[in-house]
Structure 1
Amino acid sequence: MIKSLTEKINDLSIKVAVVGLGYVGMPIAVAFSKKIPTIGFDINEKKIEDYRKGLDTTGEVGKEELKDCPAEFTAEEAKLKEADFIIVAVPTPVNDDKTPDLTPITDACEIIGRNLKQGSIIVFESTVYPGVTEEICVPVLEQYSGLHCGVDFRIGYSPERINPGDKEHRLTNIVKIVSGMDYETTELIAGVYEMIIDAGVFKTSSIKVAEAAKLVENAQRDINIAFLNEIAMAFERMGISTGEVLTAMGTKWNALKFTPGLVGGHCIGVDPYYFISRAERFGYHSQIITAGRRINDGMGSFVADVTVKKLIQADKLIKNTKIYVMGITFKENCPDIRNTKVMDIVNRLSEYQADISVTDPAADRNEVLSHYLCKLVELEEVKEADCLIFAVAHKEFRKLTVNDLDKMFKNMANDKKVIIDIKGMFDKQELESRGYTYWSL
């Protein structure tokens, strides 16, 4: 007797496959493997080899947990034929012109379609604009499988909410939004995710609502950060410390806890463009979200220009000035370098022919070299500097004392030593009292 999906869910015999094993997919595969048979699929064979060896290149799960993980990690697409429930967690970047690049998700649909078992459910977690799952993914799945959606297979959408590097808000304790093409499918999808999500699930009335919710989550954060970046640029001209203003403002109970800074990564720096693109197709030109993106995309150049100003104030010639950029990942204590805005600082300063080196204890040296043609130096190699730009608040940088910083500079008067502290990690009063040329957002 062939079991129904409901029966397989109830007796934990349902087999899950996760397509795309990056910062989102890999933790999902590991979590499900503790409960039910799980396949982890990725086209990157090197990544699969690392996972099989227990090497967690994302830092999201940990070496020991990955080593003991019972999931079957594979680059063999035919293994997907065994799956009853397929989760798609591939990247959804933007093109150079900031329009959505759906190539990774359509490529994934082709692979799944070629290996789709009748009766399966495919759930997309990749961030997309409303309509992608039903209008773009379904036709590809049908074309390559020869099956019909709603008859031979079903679909759903559950936006990923994993925050890379966050050790507090984890996959299992974040409420999971789930949706399906109909009521029954939504209930089945909810039942599967409830196996691993301790915080519970939230069911939406449609796939488009779930798709839109993810975009709005990140666009909201983007706009709030853009507001603070704008006031930071204004206060720089006024000679007012943004950090002090925010500390004072924060004494009110309803003040929002956002800070200015570089906005990169795979979500906040990308997802608003998916909203903007989709809205324009319906004849609406986004004003606030577009303005926020423009402000945040310009922060790297702003920091670089402030650096130039501070170097000039310290009587430094910009050409050949030795600058170390401290950190290249898009956020602290995380190896993720996708869409990092630190490179905007590096590229802008390169226009002035400064001598720039980058160090990052969290990033993978080979990945940085491959993606950005940037060769990282070790933290111990940071010496004879004219300027230090702390772009990422890694824990290794937070441990540095003033004496540690001093050893990184050339032997010269303190007022010639320039420290650009984007994240406000160091004590401004202490550094300025010692005569350093210091600036923070």
Structure 2
Amino acid sequence: MSHPKIAIIGLGYVGLPLAVAFAKKYPVIGFDINQSRVDELNRGKDHTLEVSDQKLQEALKTSATAGMKLSTDQDDLKESTIFIVTVPTPTDKNRQPVLTPLIRASETIGKVLKDGDIVIYESTVYPGVTEEICVPVLEKQSGKTFNKDFFAGYSPERINPGDKLHTVTSILKVTSGSTPEIAKRVDELYASVITAGTHLASSIKVAEAAKVIENSQRDINIAFVNELSKIFRLLDIDTNDVLEAAATKWNFTKYTPGLVGGHCIGVDPYYLAQKALEVGYNPEIILSGRRINDGMGKYVANEVIKLMLNKEAKVKNGRALVLGITFKENCPDTRNTKAIDVIKELQTYNMNVDVCDPWADKDEVKTLFGIDLLRCEEINSTYDSIVLAVSHKEFLRLDFSALKNEKAVVFDVKSFLPTEQIDGRL
């Protein structure tokens, strides 16, 4: 491990920051099948904003012992000795795990695999995927034998998109390997760049399970407070006041209600649920939490409509402004956003919906959702309802009084705005 040559497969929110971190100490090949993504990065720009232009440009300055080269050419992977897979693991329209990107990445690696190489997976999966699905693909493509000719590891990603405090090197890393010796080597590799330290799991399956329950636990906790919000709204009690009071107890863990989207929390529980069903167990709590959170966009829209009817605001052919379409605040990522559920439900009431987001990419939003996105400075209308779906910092600077019609309703999904500006919140 003194002179590893590292290949990162997948240059998205997870792979790029990891590649940049490793490039400070080792020669790195960053590989992605998206030519436009590689071209963008080679120009020193990252539209995900996970890596600053300066850090990216520094990483691209290669030497014999460090630095990063970016490529879509499979031949550039041939000299690598460590392969780290950071491709997405989404679900389909039926909430079933989609392992195709993982399998395709394994096929690519298998074609260049050499004796002694190690393949490490970071993508979130259910326990068993690495050894039962990915490794056979590697064996088939390479003609080599697992744990004899090549080895595997699993070290789950813990990237938090948009978070500039908890970056890849400052989050403790779980590691594992297919043999005790390989596990130690994988752990040493990550420990050389992860300043927060590492935790060596007892097996690959344990590491896989640890990752998938991290997000499942968070999903369930948010589902609980979302359900509380529904109850307390019926009781005319402010949920946030209740949570603040309860949080005064030392062992109360405070979560807040809201929309749960993104590529992790809104997806990963289905991976664990699918594996549980395969072995004959019906995961009641996990799927119940998913049902509650998946329904929150529609719930928010319906609560807005109720408030509008109470104030006699114009609903049919009325105008609504939804603030935010990314899946979380201060981040350009729109993957699996639940703000779109709010928008679609409002449209079922024949409302004309404008969407403002200072972070999302206009072209991407147009392609994905057919929406002509507004920036804050482009808003030139008044509205019958305003829904703050995502708490981007820029929204605090808006003059809501200038955006509202006489009987307009302002609903704050994130409890972000001053209470005197709003008519309702979760």
TM-score, structure 2 as length reference: 0.96
Residue identity opposite 1:67 in structure 2: Q
Residue identity opposite 1:409 in structure 2: K
Does 2:34 match 1:44?
A: yes
Secondary structure of the equivalent of 2:78? helix
Does 2:334 match 1:357?
A: no
Separation of aligned partners in 1, 2:30 and 2:370: 30
Q: How many residues align?
A: 418
Deviations 1:349-385 (A, max 9, x none): 1111110111111111111122222221121222221
Secondary structure of the equivalent of 2:176? strand
Q: Residue 261 of structure 2 aligns with which residue?
A: 264
Residue identity opposite 1:405 in structure 2: F
Q: How far off its partner does 1:221 sit?
A: 0.5
Q: Residue 373 of structure 2 aligns with which residue?
A: 376
Identity score, percent: 49
> Which among 397, 411, 422 is matched to residue 420 of structure 1?
411
Q: How far off its partner does 1:327 sit?
A: 0.3
Deviations 1:55-75 (A, max 9, x none): 111111111111221310111
Separation of aligned partners in 1, 2:212 and 2:110: 26
Residue identity opposite 1:397 in structure 2: F
Q: How far off its partner does 1:285 sit?
A: 0.3
Q: How far off its partner does 1:115 sit?
A: 2.1
Secondary structure of the equivalent of 2:199? strand
Secondary structure of the equivalent of 1:388? strand
Q: Residue 392 of structure 1 aligns with which residue?
A: 390
Does 2:397 match 1:407?
A: no
Q: Residue 177 of structure 1 aligns with which residue?
A: 174
Residue identity opposite 1:136 in structure 2: I
Secondary structure of the equivalent of 1:139? helix
Q: How far off its partner does 1:145 sit?
A: 1.6
Q: Residue 303 of structure 1 aligns with which residue?
A: 300
Does 2:214 match 1:217?
A: yes
Q: Residue 48 of structure 2 aligns with which residue?
A: 58
Secondary structure of the equivalent of 2:70? strand
> Which among 4, 7, 11 is matched to residue 21 of structure 1?
11
Does 2:140 match 1:143?
A: yes
Q: Residue 4 of structure 1 aligns with which residue?
A: none
> Which among 157, 181, 191 is matched to residue 154 of structure 2?
157
Does 2:109 match 1:112?
A: yes
Does 2:57 match 1:67?
A: yes
Separation of aligned partners in 2, 1:84 and 1:191: 15
Q: Residue 315 of structure 2 aligns with which residue?
A: 318
Q: Residue 252 of structure 1 aligns with which residue?
A: 249
Secondary structure of the equivalent of 2:330? coil
Is the CA contact 2:220–2:285 (under 8 Å) kept in the aligned structure 1? Answer: yes
Secondary structure of the equivalent of 1:334? coil
Residue identity opposite 1:19 in structure 2: I
Residue identity opposite 1:381 in structure 2: E
* Structure 1 consecutive aligned stretches of length 4 or more whose deviation exceeds 3 Å: none
Separation of aligned partners in 2, 1:381 and 1:33: 41
Separation of aligned partners in 2, 1:406 and 1:257: 32
Does 2:329 match 1:338?
A: no
Q: Residue 279 of structure 1 aligns with which residue?
A: 276
Residue identity opposite 1:393 in structure 2: S
Deviations 1:182-219 (A, max 9, x none): 10110111111111101111111110000000011111
Q: Residue 65 of structure 2 aligns with which residue?
A: none
**In terms of mean alpha carbon deviation, does 209-218 or 343-352 score higher?**
343-352
Secondary structure of the equivalent of 2:83? strand
Deviations 1:240-298 (A, max 9, x none): 11111111112222221210100011111100000100001111000111111111111
Deviations 1:322-364 (A, max 9, x none): 1111001111001111110111111111111110111111111
Residue identity opposite 2:417 in structure 1: F
Separation of aligned partners in 1, 2:233 and 2:108: 51
TM-score, structure 1 as length reference: 0.93
**In terms of mean alpha carbon deviation, does 383-392 or 312-321 score higher?**
312-321
Secondary structure of the equivalent of 1:68? helix
Separation of aligned partners in 2, 1:330 and 1:219: 17
Residue identity opposite 2:181 in structure 1: E
Is the CA contact 2:315–2:384 (under 8 Å) kept in the aligned structure 1? Answer: no
Residue identity opposite 1:247 in structure 2: E
Separation of aligned partners in 2, 1:185 and 1:371: 42
Separation of aligned partners in 2, 1:374 and 1:348: 15
RMSD, aligned α-carbons: 1.1
Secondary structure of the equivalent of 1:377? coil
Deviations 1:362-414 (A, max 9, x none): 111111122222221121222221111100011101333xxx1112224x3xx
Separation of aligned partners in 1, 2:372 and 2:119: 40
Separation of aligned partners in 1, 2:252 and 2:396: 26
Q: Structure 2 matches for 1:194-209, cutoff 5 A? A: 194-209=191-206
Separation of aligned partners in 2, 1:129 and 1:440: 35
Q: Residue 23 of structure 2 aligns with which residue?
A: 33
Separation of aligned partners in 1, 2:159 and 2:109: 23
Where in structure 2 are there 5+ consecutive unaligned residues? 61-67
Deviations 1:2-46 (A, max 9, x none): xxxxxxx22xx2110100111000000000001110011100111
Residue identity opposite 2:289 in structure 1: G
Separation of aligned partners in 2, 1:117 and 1:175: 30
